[in-house]
Amino acid sequence: MTNTKINIAIVGDFCSFYPHENEISNALRSELSSHELRIVNFEGPLQIGDLHTAGSYFLKQSKDSPSWCLNNGFNIINLANNHAYDFGEEGLKATKQSFGNILTLGSGYWDEVYSVTRVEISGKKIGFFSATSADLSSLKDRWTDLDKYGCPWINHPCVNKVIADAKSKLDYLIVIVHAGVEYMDVPLPEWRDRYYELVDMGADAVVATHAHVPQGFEYYSDKPIFYSLGNFCFYKGEDERYPERWNNGIIASLEICEDRIHAKAIQTFFKNKIVDIDNSKSAKEYLDKLNSYLKDNEKYLKRVDENVINLYKKYEEWLLLGMNSYKIRPLSLRNVYHLLRALITGGLSQRVALHQLREESTRYVLARAYKLLSKTNL
């Protein structure tokens, strides 16, 4: 009997204000085409309707971005992310509709999003469940959100049951999560534990996005977990200044065999408006370094703490702005803008505070930072 293999490629965040300026190299195109299923995280909606975001930073995809993804071979589009609601329900609905009959994940009404999408290929039933953290787009409360259009929340109490029930009817189940801390090169322990739990519930692979930089991957109970794929193609124009590693990405290449999923990381780099495979020695060494953090608990926790201390003030600032409370910080045009906007629009500041209180990573980062700074063991 032939041992059928199915290959799935999942790439990181895509957002382009000018997709006509961007392209994929021939080598990368060939690599992607060797996978039957090709999934991209389409981060940010089309600009339809009123701005609905909780802060001043929002994303809007070009009207040509959907066709760019389709023309470059992606046949499954993931829509569950923290920017999905930047233009509210109307923007998210229009974004989904722009892909026509192409399969999309992670958006819809309650019963639709809190269920697993099934794809049958080569006689195998493969399920996908895609969700985001507690963002404005996520449907969190059945009592109030049943008739709303949005994205599933990865930490909703029903998710574990959804995964466990679905797995009993599937050969393989892949969970895609948009969560974590931007610019951290290791996952927070809270998210790492959550992904372990998803595997315990029945997930055969967990793939995460959101950090905008790569993180390592590991196997837990023989199931691969990718903690952050980084950016695939995130282009806001030539004059935009990008953080370090912003243009580094990972493709989670999953090979489904008869008994398990084999995983490998294909590294990419976006340069001169082209996404290409990165086979450089430095790229390999960097990924090895990221993976090494996950193999040594002492080294891992030390790196987590270093990241948290470097990043917590940003989360603290967002939360305090939302509560109309301000710490004296070095003045900059950006800080002055945030301050004036919060003072003028009380409703907006309350929305910012609500979002920051709900969103898991804000709480995780601040709690860990304050524990470290206070030097308490409590």
| Residue written as token pair 């722009």 | 98
The answer to whether the pTM exceeds 0.85 is: yes
The CB density around residue 190, as the number of other CB atoms within 10 Å, is: 17
**Integer Cα distance of 53 and 135 in angstroms:** 10
Check whether 228 has a pLDDT greater than 50. yes
Q: Mean pLDDT, the chain, as a whole number?
A: 90
Q: What is the CATH number of the domain that holds 111?
A: 3.60.21.10
For residue 258, the model assigns a pLDDT of 80
**What is the gyration radius of the CA atoms in the chain, in angstroms?**
20
For residue 55, the model assigns a pLDDT of 55
- Examine the domain organization and report whether 191 and 252 are in the same domain: yes
**Residues 328-365 pLDDT 10s:** 455 555 555 555 555 554 555 677 778 888 899 999 99
Last residue of a domain, one of 245, 278, 295: 295
Find the domain containing 359 and state its range. 299-374
The answer to whether position 1 is within a domain reads no
- Examine the domain organization and report whether 113 and 222 are in the same domain: yes
Collapsed DSSP state (helix, strand, coil) of residue 154: coil
**Residues 236-294 pLDDT 10s:** 766 667 788 999 999 999 999 888 899 999 999 999 999 999 999 999 999 999 999 99
- Rounded to the nearest 5°, which phi and psi values hold at 338? -60, -45
Report the pLDDT averaged over residues 208-220: 97
- Examine the domain organization and report whether 244 and 273 are in the same domain: yes
Query: One-letter amino acid identity for 40?
Result: V
Q: Tell me what percent of the residues of the chain surpass a pLDDT of 90.
A: 77
Last residue of a domain, one of 250, 273, 295: 295
Nearest to 83 by CA among 127, 124, 137: 137
Query: One-letter amino acid identity for 82?
Result: N
The answer to whether position 118 is within a domain reads yes
Last residue of a domain, one of 295, 317, 352: 295
Kindly report which listed range (190-194, 348-352, 369-373) carries the lowest average pLDDT score.
Answer: 348-352
For residue 1, the model assigns a pLDDT of 42
